Amino acid sequence: MKAMWLILQQPEAEDYIIATAETHSIRDMLDIAFSRVGLDWEERVEVDPKLLRPAEVDYLYGNATKARERLGWAPQVDLKGLIEMMVDADLRLVRSSLKAVVATSN
């Protein structure tokens, strides 16, 4: 969000790449999210090879040099931190929903 705000403050509209310069796989994301709640994703997620996209680019890398140099922007959260924040937010939502269900059932 900070990067978007900084872009909007510029006097001229330009394109910027907002990226961490790191690459991650879906498996990396699953490892982080499931380990946050003490689970092994490989026991719960089924991969269907028919749905894999063979023409997909193997390596994607975002170069945010322009954003760093012109906007003074740098990533403040890494992938692990971001996914853990998202999982924690979902857990809070589930817990509050459960509390509401318990309160209405009493």
Q: Domain 2-105 is of which CATH architecture?
A: Alpha-Beta Complex (3.90)
Task: Please count the residues of the chain.
Answer: 106
What is the per-residue pLDDT across 36-62, written as a single tens digit (0 to 9) for each?
Answer: 999 999 999 999 988 887 776 777 788
Q: Check residue 63 and give its pLDDT.
A: 92
* pTM for this predicted structure: 0.76
User: Which of 54, 55, 62, 27 has the alpha carbon at shortest distance from 41?
Assistant: 27
pLDDT digits (tens, 9 = 90+) for 23-37: 898 899 999 999 999
Break the chain into its structural domains and give their ranges: 2-105
Hey, what are 39's tokens?
Answer: 């689970």
